Chains A and B, each alone.
Chain A
Amino acid sequence: MVKELKIIGKSTPKLDAKERVTGKSVYGHDIELPGMLHGMILRTKYPCAKIISIDVSEAKALDGVMCVITAADVDVNQIGYKRDHPIFKSKTVNCNRDEIAAVAATTKEIAKKALSLIKVEYEVKKGIYNPFDALKEDAPKLNEFSHDKFGNKNIGESFHYEHGNIEDQKKLSKVIITKRYETSRVTHCCMATSNITASYSKLDGQLTIWASTQVPFLYQRDVAHALKMEPSKIRIIQPIIGGGFGSKLDMLPFEPICALLSIKTGKPVQLLYSREEEFIASPTRQPMIIDLTTGANENGKFTFREVKITMDNGAYTSWGATTPFVMMQTYSSLYQVPACSFDAKAIYTNNPFAGSFRGYGNPQATYSIETNIDLLAKELGIGKDEIRLINANYKGEITGQGLNFKTCGAIPALKKVIEESKYSQRIKSQISNSKSQESGRYKKGIGLASMLHVGGGAKIYRSDGCGTRLKIDHYGYLTIITGSNEIGQGSETVLAMIAVEELGIPIEKIKVINTDTDVKPWDVGVHASRTSFVAGNSLLGAIKLIKEKLNKQAAKLLCIENSDFIYQNGSMFHDDKEIKIDKVVREMHFGLPNELCVVEYFYEPPSSFQDKEFKGDVSGNYAFASQAIEVEVDTLTGKVKVLNVFVSQDVGRVLNPLALQGQIEGGVATGIGFALTEEMIYKNGMLLNPNFHGYKLLTSMDMPDVNFYPVETYDDAGPYGSKGVGEAPLIPTAAAIANAVADAIGIEFYSLPLSPEKILKALKEKTINKVLSI
């Protein structure tokens, strides 16, 4: 029996929506501190060069310039999880982002002018922009700080995972398909560009940073390491964040640089990226070359997956190199897979490095697997829907990697989108003769894809926990101090809803405090679709404690045995007795023995840390989803129009339908961009389209309708049975679109994006081949 709930499951507008819609929210760009200076960074002119000399004398002499710094002026540590990245580059530059100097000046104009006065002499070198070239024996060592641990000087990171017996499974296979897939480099395009304001006090050595990070506690540690400071001397305050999507998971050089400018000048310094700088010097999705071999037996059951992934690591290592953690789950466990072998290598080049991006490698992995499944089905002559249902994950399954699916909405989600999209009536490649008969300019097709992602956090650090402190005041107002963060996704609204549900305090009387590391308890951060799950559970734990306190006090006041109360409208009820919460709290404060109505709770998910073989039940629960997407290809221009998107996702339980639908639609939009229009175009390490002119986000005119059907599986681990939802909606989108395009025109593509030009070229070649074969 599922408990009937009062507010959970009902659409609730965002807690802070009024501030945001009236322009009152203070984003990092809006901060102005007294005496604040403006910082700017000089980046390299070339992606690969030796620095002969740096002359900052003219810049320093300019009126209004308070400070100019280069590597020579600072005593800092290297950054990045591999510690292979110097904040300032002094001997060589290795990618187009490289920071050479920074200035702080009284105005932005002066700072910009000062940058133009810095003279850098380079000796330009021929860079390496293809990971396979970097693996060649005669290639130079591209990152001088790498550890040479993986058998080649330019391999920065390497993963191997396996389960089952590949060779045996190959023998059982009727069909084996090998393909190489390539995914492009795309970027987050947060509407607010990267920003930081740092204020250092020489009086007490305290550094306060207003940073739009998604992971304030990890960030505090990273800044401290970079600057050789005591972490607790650094206070991280998060202003309102104008988009995250994973881009704010790593600390980048501009952040310690801004702090250094403040330390050197003793004044607050603000550093804002221009849009061009944002394109050039903020993280991207990890581009990949995926060599995938899969097999299936005569009944359509999958037998094995063997995959080798080559990742362009860029010049330094950031989180992009760790996307294999997530990808190996998809290869090992999306559908039932008896045997899997997974290798991934991140290879240094002179390109920029990739970071984390919503989905964390999963969109790339899912694209390769799901398009490959269509090929298997075609070879075997069975339905593309059928093959997926035959192999779908199920409740109770423990996968080869050790993921334990205590609940699983994979089959219901698949069936739902197949039914709603009328997939079997629409798929041309399975309806006899229809394809050859279809003529005309526009060709329609439909594609299907599914995905698996963590839904209950991901234990990739030793703790995946979140702390909560609760306080109820004299007047019955509740303050939730949570370790978790709001980055626009609506997590603080969900927390307030949970408190309303459990404590019966009206939402207007609830405050969520979540922006200050000096105040809030530990939490890992916003990533892995974890916030509602982990912070929600943490809050529920704290609520249980505060209820115990309130129950005890209320029972005392009402002269009854300590027992359970019903919480409603700011009051507590037991049988026919009622007492207001504020009165109970006042009695705690004033009555003897005096005490506070304050509790704290730390929640650690029941997941386990993976072993050395990357096996283990890494998440509290798992999210499943399927999408069916209908497209229309214009055979005269190669342009793909997405007509309709059907999404069904196992969300455990719907907490806030309005916010959930927003996550789904936004995710799908980013997924369509990844599939069709978005691509960072590089030539010899330099970005050719660092603007919204050339880098094409979808507009309101490009967005199709999205039909969403949540699947509720009521997972015991999640708050009210819920699962994480944030990343899932974009993960299968590109795969479903690629399958739909193949269905529409009978041509498979093995690289993203599916640009009009790529499609038109393929159509043309097909026509020529047809003519030649006649």
Chain B
Amino acid sequence: MLDFDVISPKTSHELFEVISNSQDKNYRFGAGYTDLINDLNNNLQQNLTVINLAKLNDNNFKAININENGVQIGALVTATQLLENNIIQNNYPVLWEATNSVASGQIRASATIGGNVCQASPSGDMSCALVALKAVCEIIDSKGNIREENISDFFRGVKKTSLKKNEILRSIFVPINISKNIKSGYIKVGTRNSMEIAIASIAYHFQKDEQNNVIDAGYAIGAVAPTIVFTKDACDFILGKNINSLNETDVKQFANLIKKYAKPISDIRASAWYREEVLINLSETILK
């Protein structure tokens, strides 16, 4: 049975104070709770404090802000809020589709983007899309110092991030598209059509010029390595190429460059062989 104390800061000032005062304590942040409660049920902990972010009233954490450089998404924005945002839907289909594939409507109503990112699961859906979008994490510490870090660098391993104990993820910045001509989407492999944790996932976001030559490429793969991986070599390879008329060799070459990044494991959901196989099969189809 769950047994922990809860502190519910209402302002960022209170939040920083709580974080400062909790440095010698065993604490976790609670935002949407859809991962945290399962986590705590499976690993009962003694003397735990949950810093409850549900009551925090700070738009830096809670709002989606759009400016000329991109979209700043507060860490406490829920999956449902993202899905209801037209700018996300129209400009970042990869993020919209990934978010729409998270669990169920009831979970999406509670689950937050910050929670999905900080969970640092190799199969995180929204995280995978954010990696493809080259998102930047805005991290703030209990003294109010802000640092920014590319999301790929933020992930350090299975369930590991670069967050220090006195830090919290405040928001995620997604840079603006440089072209309106995009090819963007999210593919999630699972046994069922819903309620899945990805066996393998692909997030892609290509921006093209008027001739369909790729001018910016984002391609991330999930559930095939300890962290979600940005496949940089493959992205570099595709730059400048016409994505609508790639030849067979280019497609193979692209897939081979992706394969390099895949270091899957076998578990009860799928074997390493299967993960790699579908990853390559599906990577090829995206370009066909």
Complex: how many Å from CA A322 to CA B278?
42
Chain B residues within an 8 Å CB radius of A26: none
Task: Indicate which residue in B192, B194, B278 contacts A760 across the interface (CB closer than 8 Å).
Answer: B278
Closest Cβ neighbor of B195 among chain A residues = A699
Beta-carbon contact of A699 and B1 below 8 Å: no
Q: Is A639 an interface residue (CB 8 A)?
A: yes
Chain A residues within an 8 Å CB radius of B197: 693
Chain B residues within an 8 Å CB radius of A676: 191
Chain A residues within an 8 Å CB radius of B191: 639, 676-677, 696, 755-756
Q: Is B89 an interface residue (CB 8 A)?
A: no
How many residues on B have C-beta within 8 angstroms of the other chain's C-beta atoms?
A: 20
Complex: how many Å from CA A701 to CA B191?
12
Beta-carbon contact of A701 and B274 below 8 Å: no
Q: Is B271 an interface residue (CB 8 A)?
A: yes
Q: Interface code B256-288, partner A: CB below 8 Å = 1, 0 otherwise? A: 000000000000111101100110011001000
Task: Indicate which residue in B1, B194, B268, B274 contacts A756 across the interface (CB closer than 8 Å).
Answer: B274
Shortest distance from the beta carbon of B281 to any chain A beta carbon, whole Å: 4
Complex: how many Å from CA A702 to CA B3?
38
Q: Is B189 an interface residue (CB 8 A)?
A: yes
Closest Cβ neighbor of A688 among chain B residues = B268
Task: Indicate which residue in B1, B268, B281, B285 contacts A694 across the interface (CB closer than 8 Å).
Answer: B268
Closest Cβ neighbor of B199 among chain A residues = A756
Chain A residues within an 8 Å CB radius of B285: 441, 636
Q: Is B193 an interface residue (CB 8 A)?
A: yes
Chain B residues within an 8 Å CB radius of A441: 285
Closest Cβ neighbor of B282 among chain A residues = A636
B270, B277, B282, most chain A CB atoms within 10 A: B277
Closest Cβ neighbor of B2 among chain A residues = A109
Beta-carbon contact of B268 and A112 below 8 Å: no
Beta-carbon contact of B194 and A702 below 8 Å: yes
Complex: how many Å from CA A761 to CA B191?
15
Q: Interface code A626-638, partner B: CB below 8 Å = 1, 0 otherwise? A: 0000000000111
Shortest distance from the beta carbon of B34 to any chain A beta carbon, whole Å: 13
Chain B residues within an 8 Å CB radius of A677: 191-192
Q: Interface code B171-190, partner A: CB below 8 Å = 1, 0 otherwise? A: 00000000000000000010
Beta-carbon contact of A109 and B1 below 8 Å: yes
Chain A residues within an 8 Å CB radius of B278: 636-638, 760
Beta-carbon contact of B192 and A112 below 8 Å: no
Chain A residues within an 8 Å CB radius of B193: 699, 701-702
Chain A residues within an 8 Å CB radius of B270: 757
Chain A residues within an 8 Å CB radius of B3: 109
Q: Interface code A663-706, partner B: CB below 8 Å = 1, 0 otherwise? A: 00000000000001100010000001100111010111110000
Number of A-B residue pairs with CB-CB distance less than 8 Å in the complex they form: 54
Chain A, interface SS category: loop
Chain B residues within an 8 Å CB radius of A760: 274, 277-278
Shortest distance from the beta carbon of B5 to any chain A beta carbon, whole Å: 16
Q: Is A119 an interface residue (CB 8 A)?
A: no
Complex: how many Å from CA A374 to CA B210?
54
Complex: how many Å from CA A328 to CA B98?
49
Shortest distance from the beta carbon of A765 to any chain B beta carbon, whole Å: 12
Task: Indicate which residue in B195, B268, B273, B281 contacts A681 across the interface (CB closer than 8 Å).
Answer: B268
Complex: how many Å from CA A666 to CA B274?
31
Complex: how many Å from CA A760 to CA B285?
16
Shortest distance from the beta carbon of B85 to any chain A beta carbon, whole Å: 23
Shortest distance from the beta carbon of B264 to any chain A beta carbon, whole Å: 12
Complex: how many Å from CA A426 to CA B168?
58
Complex: how many Å from CA A757 to CA B190?
11
Chain B residues within an 8 Å CB radius of A108: 1
Beta-carbon contact of B192 and A698 below 8 Å: yes
Chain B residues within an 8 Å CB radius of A638: 274, 278
Beta-carbon contact of B282 and A757 below 8 Å: no
Closest Cβ neighbor of B187 among chain A residues = A637
From 407 to 463 in chain A, residues with beta carbon under 8 angstroms from any chain B beta carbon are 441
Complex: how many Å from CA A112 to CA B1?
8
Q: Is A764 an interface residue (CB 8 A)?
A: yes
Beta-carbon contact of B268 and A699 below 8 Å: no
Shortest distance from the beta carbon of A638 to any chain B beta carbon, whole Å: 8
Complex: how many Å from CA A762 to CA B173?
44
Beta-carbon contact of A696 and B274 below 8 Å: no
Shortest distance from the beta carbon of B105 to any chain A beta carbon, whole Å: 11
Shortest distance from the beta carbon of B275 to any chain A beta carbon, whole Å: 9
Complex: how many Å from CA A702 to CA B268?
21
Shortest distance from the beta carbon of B202 to any chain A beta carbon, whole Å: 12
Shortest distance from the beta carbon of B111 to any chain A beta carbon, whole Å: 15
Chain B residues within an 8 Å CB radius of A109: 1, 3
Beta-carbon contact of A701 and B194 below 8 Å: yes
The 8 closest A-B pairs by CB, nearest first: A636-B281, A701-B194, A701-B193, A699-B194, A757-B274, A109-B1, A688-B268, A637-B278
11 other contacts beyond A109-B3, A676-B191, A761-B274, with CB at 8 A cut-off? A109-B1, A636-B278, A636-B282, A637-B189, A637-B278, A638-B274, A681-B268, A696-B191, A699-B192, A701-B192, A760-B277
Name 19 interchain pairs, CB-CB below 8 A, sorted by A.
Answer: A109-B1, A441-B285, A636-B282, A639-B189, A677-B191, A677-B192, A681-B268, A693-B197, A696-B192, A698-B192, A699-B192, A699-B195, A700-B194, A702-B192, A702-B193, A756-B189, A757-B274, A760-B274, A761-B274
